[in-house]
């Protein structure tokens, strides 16, 4: 059974510092991996999707890497801002169009 | 809006009541998923539809949970005889059957069972 772990569970940084969020999964036979952002009381906003054949994806200040063989993904957020404060979740899918298995999330606080 | 919508946004039920939660997926999205998110945890899969066919219901926690999507668009998640442990946020997501299969989530329904 696939298990997804996110460490740390919570992170607090001063504004301007780069954020590094980790995600690990036990079964490397994945189809894709998605990173999401969740604000309090809100749904999930998709940030980046990485196919299993890709090594990384970038969008603005966000960069996500994938090392499928070692079961790890890292989300980098450059030059953090207070508006980046949220919970970040990673999730993997075993097959095309399949359900997502989520990690527990990392709660991020960026202090002005 | 063009996103996934869910209603109601908040629902308070007394233990033993039945509830129905609605999901309107993005137009044209073939796949529809329901997830349950307990406080402080990541979402957990409940069930999956492709058009009107329920292809996977392995995550439904008990036979009190029932989902349907009769015309392949709107879906309803029904919980019968609600229990306190059913209190959670219920999230709906939809996706196309192509272009990476990215899932798009609605805002969720927060269910509180008293």
Looking at residue B99, its pLDDT comes to 60
Interface test with A, best of B57, B103, B107, B108 (most A CBs within 10 A): B103
Spell out which chain B residues touch chain A, with contact meaning CB-CB distance below 8 angstroms: 4, 6, 31, 33, 35, 40-45, 48, 50, 56, 59, 91, 93, 95, 97, 100-108, 110
> What's the whole-number mean pLDDT along residues B97-108?
82
Count CB-CB contacts under 10 A for residue B7.
Answer: 14
How does pLDDT run across A44-65, given as a tens digit for each residue?
999 999 999 999 999 999 999 9
> In which band, very low, low, confident or very high, does the pLDDT at A14 lie, cut at 50, 70 and 90?
very high
How does pLDDT run across A30-40, given as a tens digit for each residue?
999 999 999 98
List of chain A residues whose C-beta atoms are within 8 Å of the C-beta of residue B95: 97
How does pLDDT run across B76-87, given as a tens digit for each residue?
999 999 999 999
CB B46 within 8 A of CB B54: no
Residues 6+ apart with CB under 8 A from A53: none
- How does DSSP assign B56-108, residue by residue? E-TT--STTEEEE-TTSS-EEEEESS--GGG-EEEEEEEE-SSGGG--EE---
């Amino acid at each position: 059974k696939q298990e997804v772990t996110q460490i740390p569970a919570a992170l607090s940084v001063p504004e301007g510092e780069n954020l590094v969020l980790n995600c690990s999964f036990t079964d490397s036979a994945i189809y894709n991996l998605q990173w999401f952002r969740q604000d309090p009381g809100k749904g999930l906003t998709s940030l980046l999707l990485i196919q299993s054949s890709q090594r990384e994806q970038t969008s603005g200040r966000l960069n996500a890497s994938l090392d499928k063989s070692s079961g790890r993904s890292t989300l980098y957020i450059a030059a953090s801002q207070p508006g980046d404060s949220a919970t970040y979740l990673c999730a993997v899918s075993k097959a095309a169009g399949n359900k997502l298995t989520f990690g527990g999330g990392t709660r991020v606080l960026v202090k002005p | 809006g063009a996103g996934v919508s869910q209603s109601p946004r908040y629902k308070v039920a007394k233990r033993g009541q039945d509830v129905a939660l609605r999901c309107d997926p993005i137009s044209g999205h073939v796949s529809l998923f329901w997830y349950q998110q307990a406080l402080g945890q990541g979402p957990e899969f409940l069930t999956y539809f492709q058009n009107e066919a329920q292809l996977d219901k392995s995550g439904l926690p008990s036979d009190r949970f029932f989902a349907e999507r009769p015309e392949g668009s709107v879906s309803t998640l029904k919980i019968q005889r609600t229990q306190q442990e059913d209190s959670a946020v219920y999230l709906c997501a939809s996706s196309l059957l192509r272009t990476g299969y990215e899932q798009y989530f609605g805002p969720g329904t927060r269910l509180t069972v008293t």
